[in-house]
């Protein structure tokens, strides 16, 4: 057992060394994503998916809304410390930091790895995620009142994105457009879509919109699935670990202003 563990640590070291320092992974990601898009139907690939037919295991989240919502409420008790998306991933500033108010994130899973200490604060939700095959990442997505997200496309076609409405304002509930489909969030309701299509969020509400986002690896033929899992593993070391390190640090609050005379 000790030899196996040592070999695993040695392999992990070289994966991080080679992929993290000596390889520009973006061209590979783009080429693989293009291949996956062609496999899925190219410009005719589906936008929305039937959860029961495509990923029925996700229904365990729908059926556990009360538990997930309860753990979310505990997280929100410390909402002032929650980071904005672009604090965790500076590359997201073009969609997270260009409209008024904030888009906050509470990671539970990143690139196939539990996000600690966050995951321990939501044990029931994390246990549900662990029971679902091929979870790529998962997080609470918190839009402050009136926070919209400009149109953009997901960077990779290797996953499908699931949303479960956890807290949705009654006043002008926000909507998401994916390609030419519009979806308005509702509490306890879920949707599964292809994040690689152009999409945006229109939010004119006066309340918070919070959803649980779960990315699952796209179901594909065996050769593409093998490659997809390899890319996901590489992403864990190149990208995921950095994000999780930032997520583990509470957001620093500005010092109160001091009076001057």
What kind and span of H or E run contains 18?
helix 2-22
Closest CA to 205 of 160, 144, 259: 144
> For residues 223 and 39, is the Cβ–Cβ distance under 8 A?
no
Give the 3-state secondary structure of residue 192: strand
What is the separation of C-alpha 36 from the centre of its chain, rounded to a whole number of angstroms? Answer: 19
CB 29 within 8 A of CB 185: no
H/E run at residue 62: helix 59-62
Q: Which helix (H) or strand (E) holds 175?
A: strand 175-178
Average pLDDT over residues 130-158: 95
Phi, psi of 248 (to 5 degrees): -75, -10
Q: How far apart are CA 152 and CA 238, in angstroms?
A: 23
Return the structure tokens found at 13: 């070291």
Q: Tell which residue, 228, 256, 258, has the closest CA to residue 36.
A: 228
Residues 6+ apart with CB under 8 A from 134: 216, 217, 229
Give CA–CA dist 154/20, Å, rounded: 22
C-alpha 188/C-alpha 63 separation (Å) is: 9
How many Å apart are CA 155 and CA 195, to the nearest integer? 8
Average pLDDT of the residues in 50-77:
98
Fold of 45-221: Jelly Rolls (2.60.120)
Share of the chain above pLDDT 70, in %: 85
Rounded to two decimals, what is the model's pTM?
A: 0.86
- Write the pLDDT tens digit of every residue in 178-210: 999 999 999 999 999 999 999 999 999 999 999
Degrees, nearest 5: CA angle 241-199-88: 25
| 105: pLDDT strictly greater than 60 | yes
Query: What is the pLDDT, as a whole number, of residue 162?
Result: 99
- Rounded Cα distance between 203 and 187, Å, is 16
User: For the segment 110-138, what is each residue's pLDDT rounded down to a tens digit?
Assistant: 888 899 999 999 999 999 999 999 999 99
Binned at pLDDT 50, 70 and 90, residue 242 comes out as confident
What are 211-230's pLDDT values in tens digits? 999 999 999 999 999 999 98
Give the per-residue pLDDT at 250: 67
Helix (H/G/I), strand (E/B), else coil: 190? strand
pLDDT grade, residue 252 (50/70/90)?
A: low
- Residue 126 has what pLDDT? 98
């Amino acid at each position: 057992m000790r030899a196996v563990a040592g070999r695993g640590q040695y392999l992990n070291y070289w994966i991080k060394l080679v992929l993290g320092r000596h390889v520009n992974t973006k061209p590979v990601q783009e080429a693989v994503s293009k291949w996956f898009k062609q496999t899925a139907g190219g410009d005719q690939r589906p936008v929305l998916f039937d959860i029961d037919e495509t990923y029925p295991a996700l229904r365990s989240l729908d059926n556990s809304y009360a538990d997930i919502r309860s753990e979310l409420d505990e997280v929100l008790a410390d909402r002032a410390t929650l980071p904005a998306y672009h604090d965790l991933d500076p590359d997201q500033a073009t969609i997270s930091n260009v409209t008024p108010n904030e888009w906050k994130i509470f990671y539970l899973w990143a690139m196939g790895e539990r996000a600690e200490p966050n995951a321990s604060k939501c044990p029931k939700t994390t246990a549900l995620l662990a029971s679902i095959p091929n979870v790529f990442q998962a997080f609470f997505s918190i839009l402050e009142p009136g926070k919209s997200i400009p149109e953009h496309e997901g960077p990779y076609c290797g996953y499908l994105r699931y949303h479960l409405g956890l807290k949705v304002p009654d006043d002008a509930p926000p909507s998401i457009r994916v390609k030419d489909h519009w979806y308005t969030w509702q509490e306890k309701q879920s949707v599964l879509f292809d994040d690689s299509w152009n999409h945006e969020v229109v939010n004119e509400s006066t309340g918070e919109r919070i959803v649980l986002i779960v990315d699952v690896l796209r179901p594909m033929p065996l050769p593409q699935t093998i490659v997809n899992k390899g890319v996901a593993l590489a992403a864990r070391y190149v990208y995921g670990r950095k994000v999780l390190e930032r997520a583990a640090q509470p957001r620093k609050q500005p010092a109160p202003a001091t009076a001057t005379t």
